[in-house]
Structure 1
Amino acid sequence: MTNLSPAYIEGATVLSQERLTEDVYRLTVATTTGGAPGQFYMVRAWEREPLLARPLSVHSVDEDTVSFLYQVRGRGTELLARLDEGGKVALTGPLGHGFHTEELCGRIAIVTGGIGIAPMFCLARTLPAGDVTVIAGFKSTPYAVAQFVDLGVDVRVATEDGCDGTRGFCTAIFDPHIYDMVVTCGPMSMMARVAHLCAEAGVPCQASLEAHMACGVGACLVCSCATVLGNQRVCADGPVFDAAEVVWHA
């Protein structure tokens, strides 16, 4: 894993803004700052309000672009969703410690819930497609899964309303015993279940956590999470952790 050092870009140009569902968007901006799988940026497209930038994981990165997959959840992401081609955003990043890709070998399961699928495309592009299975859960209509199919990755979908794939939660179609390594991102309750199943099966698991952030660089401690090693900062010590070290609250 090579985590790139952060930079600050005052006015990165928006190249495209795609609306994938009613509240999920893919934003692509022009920047050469890159990012490793699992890293994130602090992104803002406003001057004063809201006060804080929004942390968005790297969805895809190329030589001169970075893409973010995000869900509208409040004022900040509402403003991001209003951006059109040619608009400007301020970026700080890439930040954090991403996936330990050097440890990912053998049969790999990528288990995601909802917008937790966001950082996984960047990761999947670095792995041998034939060794990877994506198990993705959604409340209803899936999104951002076709690109994994284009990579040649096996994709299995679960939806809570049964509109696509298996009805129910993605954890119901996940069997850790048939994999050598697991990575996960999504709601905390889902990741806690994945971590528990992996621990029972003796399969290593890396979990990318989501938390409210203020600074993004570890100074404010807003995003602290409990681990067996003590409190850790999701932004600076993570966001990717060994799932066995996270204290998962019921």
Structure 2
Amino acid sequence: MASTGNPVLSSHTTRNTEDLEMESRNSDEEGAYATLHDRGPQRKKNSEKANAAMNTKIWRLLILVVLLIFLFLALGVVTGFLFISYVNMAEEQSRLRETVSSLTSKVMEIDSTINYISINASSMTSKVMEIDSTIHYIFVNGTAGLLCGKDWTFYKLNCYYKSTIKTSWNSAKEDCEKKMSHLVIINGDGEMNFLRTFSQKESPWVGLNKTEPNKWQWVDGTVFNTTEFWQNGQPDNKKGIEDCAQFREGDGLNDVDCSATKPYICEKELF
């Protein structure tokens, strides 16, 4: 015979099952509540983290903007400094060009002076030797040398020089002027007699020429309109070209072609 089971046991089993279900339900509710209770602080933490991250981004953005502004300002300062330096360099280059140009001009001037000195060195040496010779002549010849200089002869407050070369009347006149003197001018019988001895019959040029037809004039502008000092029959203006005077053969004056080559006598006054 089949057994239907123990009612008490069955009831107890049913109750236990219900209790288990109740506990399970309560446990789920408590878990759900606990989950909801736990999510509140977590959300708060997440919100705080999000705000912190946002603040960090904002600060980073501000720092980046400040850095960009600083870089732009620094770039502006550097650009201004470079521009000022460029302007100063341009002015300095301009001054340097002017200085170089001035120095080049000075160098060319010095070079020209050196060339001039080189070209005239021999002439200067000759002058120095002439001065040295003159000083020696002064010591050897005393007063006459002191008053007139080397190769000059002293006579009555005048000095006379007789050339060692022959040339035309105009060239002789120029050479006497270079020696700070003039072709000799005869002022009287005493000087005439001195020249007869001094010329030694070499027929030198004197400072007399014809400036107009039949008008003779000394180189100092004095007109000579007498027959005094002329040789007999002179001036005769042979061939119509004899316009200058020479002291011929120590006797008197003679007219001759000015282009003829003759020695000459220079004269300079001491006072």
TM-score higher than 0.5: no
Q: Report the structure number with the largest CA radius of gyration.
A: 2
TM (norm. structure 2) is 0.20
Structure with the bigger percentage of strand: 1
TM (norm. structure 1) is 0.22
